[in-house]
Amino acid sequence: MDFEQLQKQVDFIHEIDKVKYIQRKTRLFNSDRTENDAEHSWHLALMALVLSGHSNEAIDLFKVIKMLLIHDLVEIDAGDIFLYDTATSHTNTIAELAAARRIFGLLPQNQAEELILIWEEFEAGETAESKFARAMDRFEPLLQNRSNNGGTWKEFNVPYDKVIEKKGIIKKGSDFIWKYAKKLIDNSLEEGMLKR
Amino acid sequence: MDFEQLQKQVDFIHEIDKVKYIQRKTRLFNSDRTENDAEHSWHLALMALVLSGHSNEAIDLFKVIKMLLIHDLVEIDAGDIFLYDTATSHTNTIAELAAARRIFGLLPQNQAEELILIWEEFEAGETAESKFARAMDRFEPLLQNRSNNGGTWKEFNVPYDKVIEKKGIIKKGSDFIWKYAKKLIDNSLEEGMLKR
């Protein structure tokens, strides 16, 4: 019995456990506890599952869910970067590409290549699937901040215009969800969770 | 703009955050920290993604992944039951069905019905998809216990025969993964991680 391929897959399964230790800045709903990348990825996958009907374009939902399940694996090596961090670039850095090659590279070659392509597609944000996946990634922390009386907006003094700018990416995936999100952001301003 | 459907979906998204607080008995790989149900569900979904080629039967992988993402939502109301708990039944209890109806019932009706059916299919374990999904659910804690020098087997004095009996369900989803898993269990006996 030749377990060579399976052993590579098990090594990958073991390695990605580290995602559970990567803490985001955002906190769980109505909570003081920060969310980790594994919890975040699971939640986004389920959000895509129930919200896909609101996508601007027809999408391959399974591909969206694959993207969301793997999108933060590179942070095992490259770390989490806060959305409102102005010093560090959010673009596809050299460190993240090296991380993708190392981590997905644990898998048999055909699987590694497939997942690297999906991750690159997510990062580029140009296809219908990646636009919708990225909309989910921006929508979840907005809901969390709303439930935490402002959350990271208050904690890091993020002004209204910056939130609108960063969350506007939701519109590329779903005009409809963006209308709802914009209303939440405007309500947050009125209620003092968010400042000008 | 009518947000009634979307609001129901957002209410569901908010509710399922509670899965992140449900602690399993099993601990993360090489770790003292217990795993929560959200982390567990994310890990199983990724395991299915990379291991599906070893399934005994042709499977709709997207359906398997949906099953794994939602399979523990009922524990929000019904709680986690330890695999080796002999007092409490692991079968589809009345409490779990009520939980499924309440939690999925937050969604618009057509989505609620679809997800309850998928959850029931997973619980019944009769289709090719549910057999493979359930194999993933048994395989992950085996790998975790191996990495934790016996983990819950040692902690709760679970004997070899009981582990073989409970993990044998892996064979229904994949003979190949079962051969590998059986070897790990036998090695664990030889190495003293597991007792007769």
Q: Quick one: pLDDT at residue B79?
A: 83
Residue B8 lies in a domain: yes
Among chain B residues, CA nearest to A44: B13
pLDDT at A80: 79
Calculate the alpha carbon distances from A65 to A189, B6, B144 in Å. 32, 19, 25
Per the structure, how many domains does chain B have?
Answer: 1
Q: Give the pLDDT confidence score for residue A90 in this predicted structure.
A: 57
Q: Quick: pLDDT tens for A34-93.
A: 999 999 999 999 999 999 999 999 999 999 999 999 999 999 998 877 777 766 655 568
Q: Which of residues 157-196 of A touch B (CB under 8 A)?
A: 176-177, 179-180
Domain membership flag for residue B101: yes
- Note down the domain range covering A59: 3-190
Alpha-carbon radius of gyration of chain B: 17
Q: What is the pTM of this model?
A: 0.95
In this complex, which of B1, B14, B179 lies closest to A1 when CB atoms are compared? B179
Enumerate the residues of chain B whose CB falls inside 8 A of the CB of residue A180. Answer: 1, 3, 6, 10
Which one of B9, B41, B54 has the shortest CB-CB distance to A50? B9
Residues of chain B with pLDDT under 70: 1, 86-92
Is A195 within the bounds of a domain? Answer: no
- A196 located within any domain: no
What is the per-residue pLDDT for A79? 83
pLDDT band for position A94 (cuts 50, 70, 90): confident
pLDDT of residue B19: 97
End-to-end CA distance of chain A: 65
Half-sphere exposure of A117 (CA within 13 A, CB side): 7
pLDDT, tens digit, for every residue of A120-160?
999 999 999 999 999 999 999 999 999 999 999 999 999 99
Give yes or no for A28 touching B (CB within 8 A). yes
- How far away is chain B from the Cα of A149, in angstroms, using its nearest Cα? 15
**Beta pairing partners, A23:** A36
The answer to ipTM > 0.90 is yes
Whether B177 maps to a domain, the answer reads: yes
> In the prediction, which pLDDT does A23 show?
95
Other beta carbons within 10 Å of B11: 12
Which residue from B139, B123, B130, B110 is spatially nearest to B74, judged by alpha carbons? B123
Q: Residue B84's domain is classified under what CATH number?
A: 1.10.3210.10
What pLDDT does B85 receive? 74
* Token duo for residue A153: 């907006």
Q: Is residue A136 part of a domain?
A: yes
